[in-house]
Structure 1
Amino acid sequence: MDTLVGSGDVTRITGVKPKLLTNWVESGVIRPVKQGTGRGRHHAFSVFDVLKVSLAIDMRRRGLGVDQIARVVEWLQAKSMEDLLGEFSRGRKMLMVVGSCPPWPRLWRRSDIFENDEIDLQAAFDLGVPVAIIDVERAYHTVYEKLVEGLDR
């Protein structure tokens, strides 16, 4: 889908506050396909951009800081939607973010996270380290459905 949407649609689809979206665009955390200039700027966002905003909001709700969010969004910027869909088809759809520690960002299979003795999420939680495990594929489908629903109006 090559559809482009404006800031109003992004706020409706993701729940991001307009001021926060503006701050993220101005600081370069989110880079719309087309960045407007001047007073009353009109930005154009792709479906992939909307997904990035949705994931950023999800990570923010989970207590992750702007540095972690920016790092994940930057990682996504280097990918294409086709890359991401290919990962989904190989069963890798879970994004695990644990504080600022590697090995992230990358997509994991659910079993790679929850059945791996080397990943101790409880220890991170006990230490107060922010942990987020996000189903990126589900987020993509939610964004896509809301986008199509909005276009049908």
Structure 2
Amino acid sequence: MRPSDLAREHGISAQAVRNYERDGFIPPAERTPTGYRIYTETHAAALRAYLSLVRAHGYSAAGQIMLAVHDGRLDDALAIIDQGHHQLLRDRETLGSVRQAVDHLMAGSDAVPDRARDPRIRTIGDLAHRLGVTPATLRNWEEAGIIAPERDRATGYRVFSATDIRDAELAHLLRRGGYLLDHIAAVVRQIRTAGGTEALSHALDDWQRKLTAQGTAMLRAAARLSDYLALVDPDPGVPSRPSDVVR
């Protein structure tokens, strides 16, 4: 096959195929006496695997996976794939936590003005006591952008609105789940900019669809990579008998 033959299947240019070969994402092609590249079904399978991995894991990870495969470092390639699945699982757990928190924290919130105050929360100490954390913890969350209370012009004290309290409670839930502050801040920003509970619900549904799409893309990429490995290494260290499996 020619570069254009491989390119046509994916709607890319022949130059892109040559670039992928140059970068090591597909194996080197043999050449005709006049210098033209000769691609085989093995190259086609490698290209299918690489482009599927791009859709599932992104360009950087996909390139690393294919380079590791071609260097004979299959375990390194699989470790990168494992990291992608681990991140997807964490994202699913985060989404589940956000849904749970939003259902609890935003019940009836459409009737509450965004800057309405809870009379029981007058100081940072009050909010810290409500959550069971220290005021220093809340200051760290404020510095990370997780909560953004206004200041009383007369006293300079923080003024916590219902939105601030919601964000703090959501952050507390996710923090207990082991999420880092920058991750929590990103989730809270999504909620703040969603424009109300209905818009937030749509945003979470969209997040769910994206995670589902990524999960199915990972399945397809795994199948494509398996097809390619079967061509270049029919038995890549897989035990041949059940008794060979380490228990």
Relative to total residues, which structure has the larger helix share, 1 or 2? 2
* Structure ID, larger Rg: 2
Relative to total residues, which structure has the larger strand share, 1 or 2? 1
TM-score by length of structure 1 reads 0.48
TM-score by length of structure 2 reads 0.32
